[in-house]
Amino acid sequence: MTRIRLAKAAAAAAVMCGVLSACGQGKAVYPDKDRGESTPVMSNEKKETVFGEEGLFGGKKKSQGDSSGISVNSFLWRATLDTLSFMPIASADPFGGTILTDWYQLPETPNERFKMNVFIVDRALRADGVKVTVFKQTHDASGQWIDAKVDPKMASDIENAILTRARQLRIVSAG
């Protein structure tokens, strides 16, 4: 039974190697009949691919809009930075869609502090395109910061604030 699986896996690997080796770098090779050699010939013709215009995974072509220089939805990115502007940003990666804040204490509650991780997970402006994780710490009796439970509604409220701001930015840019 395992030999059959191994044989199938080897056959699949051989087929994939053949498919991948057919992917060249845009050079066509034609035999030179006079010398019996192959010489590379460059072509200015548009190359067609097996996967079509949209590529292997579909979606938009790179030449169509949305080239804002970042790999995530630009409205969600800007809205997240605007929404979290009151907190110190520890790290921001526009290509990975990650914004991490540092700890922030509200002036009204000096015994609590919050930290947020925001992940923009889609290039489209969608309700599920942003995920927020909120962390909370409180001072204990000895003055040490200890982790505290966060109301799950807080993360969804921040997500909704980001989405509302993103919609506002989109409306402004369209008009």
Strands (E), 140-174: 145-148
Question: Domain coordinates of the chain in residue numbers?
Answer: 74-174
Tell me the pLDDT tens digit for each residue of 34-69. 555 555 544 455 555 555 555 555 554 444 444 456
Q: How far is it, in rounded angstroms, from Cα 117 to Cα 91? A: 10
Q: What is the pTM of this model?
A: 0.60
CB within 8 Å of 92: residues ≥ 6 apart: 81, 98, 99, 100
Q: Look at the chain and count its residues.
A: 175
Q: Residues 82-106: what's their mean pLDDT?
A: 94
Residue 157 CB partners (closer than 8 Å, separation 6+):
none
pLDDT tens for 155-172 read 999 999 999 999 999 999
Is CATH 1.10.3470 correct for 74-174?
A: no
DSSP 47: P
End-to-end CA gap in the chain: 65
